[in-house]
Amino acid sequence: MSRRAYGRLAARLTLLKLRRSPTMLAVSLALPALAAFAWAAGSYASGLRTFLFLLPHGFLFATQNMFRGEAAGGTLENVLFVDGGFRGYFLRKNVVLAACGCGYGILVYILFAAVSPGGSGPALDSMPGLAASLAAGIYYVAFGGLLGQFLEGGANVLAVILLQAAAFVGLIQDAAGGNRFLESLASGAFSTSPDRLKFAALAAAVPNILVSRSLLRYAWWTLPAAALLFLVQAFVLRKRELLVR
């Protein structure tokens, strides 16, 4: 099968799986609903910021049950994936998931811009935040996809969420210990090496924080980090056989 044919197959099967996923339906409806709630409780700007902060998690949830479970279930043990064709199929699934997430994020963002009470100005001002949010989402696809090569079902998503919970507990303990890392995080200025290392670790676990206006200048790193994770995933797939049961 040609590369183009594998690309079409990956797109068709991935879209079908996303459409049939109750979790993805719930997530796609919950994100704008939470943003609308934040708008009603506060302001339009707070609603838009809420959506941009939560959007990357939509990408993450899209990676659940997309990789190892499909191979372990035996559905790919057919002539379409002979000679290691499943490797290219799985890699292309990452691209499809990232494209779907970006399309969804841009569509909802346009809807928010259309209903802005102050015209399109506030939404246009938030475009750098949208770019940072989409970049963080692509990072999540790479991260979730890599974990999905080892964990079945939604275990890859759960692993990321547990990592993020541990990161937030660490932040609370750090603040309770009298450290001023949270102040540095709020200002976006990290003057000491320990603070820079803490920030790098936190951003790797919770790239959503880079949507914040004070941290936008650091958001660029998520794309090369995602590229690195995709390369690692390609290496893992290169060494893997289809039968993983």
Written as six digits, the tokens of 152 are 């079945």
d(CA 41, CA 37): 6
CB 141, CB 94: distance < 8 Å: yes
Banded model confidence at residue 243, pLDDT cuts 50, 70, 90: very low
Written as six digits, the tokens of 241 are 């056989």
Q: What mean pLDDT do residues 20-27 have? A: 93
Residue 116 vs residues 94, 109, 237: alpha-carbon distances, Å = 33, 11, 45
Residue whose structure tokens are 């939560």: 54
pTM: 0.91
- Higher model confidence: residue 173 or residue 142? 142
Q: What mean pLDDT do residues 170-197 have? A: 86
pLDDT, position 179: 77
Provide CB contacts within 8 A for 166, sequence distance 6+: 205
CB 118, CB 40: distance < 8 Å: no
Calculate helix-pair angle for 193-205, 155-176, nearest 10 degrees: 150
Average pLDDT over all residues of the chain: 87
Dmax (CA) for the chain in angstroms is 61
Banded model confidence at residue 229, pLDDT cuts 50, 70, 90: very high
Residue whose structure tokens are 């998503």: 157
CB 156, CB 64: distance < 8 Å: yes
pLDDT, position 72: 63
Burial 209-219 (b: 16+ CB within 10 A, else e): bbbbeebeebb
